[in-house]
Structure 1
């Protein structure tokens, strides 16, 4: 499949999650300003430059809010409002324009008359604070914290749900696999780190992840499952033995990626290398997660034990406007290329960073802009069964 351009990536990434806001304005600069401001508030945005592009958005994923920019005033704004009403749009409509413009007032009255939920006018000129204040009541509520699935969280598994953060191929924006994450279902109890994690709960998580792989593989084709495990588990020969026993024998199994935090891995490089040797020939491989300023230590290894280098979100977040972060990311990518490993950008949360990640040449990317965490099929089935009962 041909590689996608950064412009295509922005469009595709915007529709991978539910589109919250559609920004419609003829001027690119205005659309970008509004989209960036809204994304800072937690919305996912898409853009339309002209009325003709709006039906495609309404026909794919219905937005919660349609923003009609200042240059969309006049006759076209009337047509936009009429199109939304004809499509039975039940979201909100935010119009931007002058308070003293008769045309703006007429369009807003037309929208109300057609039964649209017109928000108060955002009067020009305006700034970011004005945009925030105008839609404050519609800002998405904070998401429940999500944590990498590891042994510590497994000890509180009765209050946690297994989710999967998609890993996206940056060449095609196709789904490559997913990382298992944990999210509290109820009031999250504090879980202390455990240097000698209990083997049972961790293996139960692995067992569920492999079970869920069968569902994902049937739906998406080739699919890798990744799970973050503490170094104490990886160093336990009995744990590794039992882990390998759980791996399906089907040739279609996409593989299990065991992620180890970089801070732990660099302090235990020799045993990590021994584990990598033990896993050779099996559909299980090691990934080093959350790589930051310790990356030079990895370049000194004679034998590289990892198939994947995941760059910490602290380096990826804001990289579009930070040359220092870009320089570090490029060096890590060069290291990955040199040792035949994949490079993964974690925490891609906005369009600017996505473009930078694509241009730098990361192999894979993760983040809410590209795709929201997917529920465990087991959780979904349990919910359906509970509802039916």
Structure 2
């Protein structure tokens, strides 16, 4: 914040390519107690972020020469730690899809607002921003860790040839005593924060303990043993000197344990390919395999994949959702399957939500699918019931 500024002031960026709408939303933000800064172009937002980090960015989905997803990519690169509030006249389903993309980019996404909206609704969203802003960086996560509020929820991964459970992805959640279940964007520290080290340790210990617990239950042991759990690990932690040793200490001593999958994003995989290759080879010695997550979102050179001994390629949900009716998405799906199989990798489609998309993905040759069509993320106990064929109550 510039020298001499009032530290009690709260600032909001209003990003909309329509001047009248931008001015109207800016006035409403001002009435709600924020200092509004209005922008119509992505490059102006990027320039302004070098001078000031607002508490919240109110973002329209369409910006003429750009769109909200492009803005969020830029915010993720800039490690923006404030909130992003989507405000648009698009349908609720589209708003939710874009919000989830922001969350997967590590942004703190507020519940979106559909145009037209009431001032009271905007006040509620901004009040949440204010309440969250009172917590120091890392505070929510440290409190959750110290008070045993962290949980792992599981979303099954389905073998598309047999429709059997091939494994599951472990996803972090916080069970807050006042606010209920919180998604990662509400409590995780910014990207690169050293607090990801204890978080990763928790995820490794809990996921491997849960694998053993599932394997010990007679009702599900036959369906579970041989399945692999996948966890998300930042590349900075994965490449740390003590990561492999830490995982090795917690590996289950079970004859049917097939190993662990560690997911890193595409942009992380190509940032330092030599180190990524070294760590991947070392992990293979212990039955631990590396997966490229959110593939297609980082726009990397596909030819570099042959340098990286990874076991799995997960296509970003943006290309999966709607592939049955979108020729460009279907072409991307086909290319990814061919690419994965060329390098002896498992082709995984994430974000499978419709039967039409599932049919196309199966025809194209994807090996594994993951998404709401099969099941939402659920607590460990509900996941055990899911494996046993009993309806589970958990949602994510």
Q: TM-score, normalised by structure 2?
A: 0.55
Check whether the contact 2:261–2:290 (CA below 8 A) recurs between aligned residues: yes
Match for residue 336 of structure 2 among 332, 336, 344: 332
Residue 152 (structure 2) pairs with residue 162 (structure 1): yes
Aligned-pair CA distance for 1:213 = 0.5
Counterparts of 1:310 and 1:154 in 2: how far apart (Å)? 28
Distance (whole Å) between structure 2 residues aligned to residue 321 and residue 347 of structure 1: 15
**Structure 1 residue 305 displacement after superposition:** 1.9
Structure 1 residues 302, 357: closer, same or farther in 2, change over 3 A? closer
Residues 154 and 230 (structure 1), Cα distance of their counterparts in 2 relative to 1, 3 Å cut? farther
Match of 1:307 in 2: 311
Partner of 2:188: 191
- Corresponding residue number in structure 1 for 2:201: 203
Following superposition, the deviation at residue 296 of structure 1 comes to: 5.6
Aligned to 1:106: none
Question: Paired residue for 1:181?
Answer: 171
Shift, 1:294, TM fit? 4.2
> Which range moved further: 295-304 or 174-183?
295-304
How far apart are the structure 1 equivalents of 2:299 and 2:236?
A: 22
Report which of the two structures shows the higher radius of gyration computed on alpha carbons: 1
The answer to whether the 8 Å contact 1:167/1:365 transfers is yes
Contact 2:353 2:372 in 1 (8 A): yes
Q: Is there any run of 5+ residues in structure 2 with no aligned partner, and where?
A: 1-95, 107-137, 386-396
Per-residue CA distance 1:53-112 (angstroms, 9 max, x = gap):
xxxxxxxxxxxxxxxxxxxxxxxxxxxxxxxxxxxxxxxxxxxxxxxxxxxxxxxxxxxx
**1:232 counterpart residue number:** 236
Against the structure 1 CA distance between its residues 378 and 301, is the aligned structure 2 distance closer, same or farther, given a 3 Å change threshold? closer
CA 1:306/1:320 → structure 2, altered by over 3 Å: closer, same or farther?
same
Counterpart CA distance in 2 for 1:238 and 1:182 is: 22
Q: Secondary structure at the match of 2:359?
A: helix
Distance 1:266 1:303 in 2: 10
Specify every segment of 5 or more residues in structure 1 that has no aligned partner in the other structure, as ranges: 1-141, 382-389
Shift of 1:225: 0.6
1:312-359 deviations in Å (ceiling 9; x for gaps): 000001111111111111111101111111000000111111111111
TM normalised by structure 1 equals: 0.56
Distance 1:207 1:183, change over 3 A: same
Sort the Cα spacing of 1:351 and 1:380 in 2 relative to 1 into closer, same or farther, 3 A: closer
Q: Is the 2:157–2:369 contact (alpha carbons within 8 Å) kept by the matching residues of 1?
A: yes
Task: Verify: 1:246 aligned to 2:250, yes or no.
Answer: yes
State the distance in 2 between where 1:361 and 1:380 align: 29
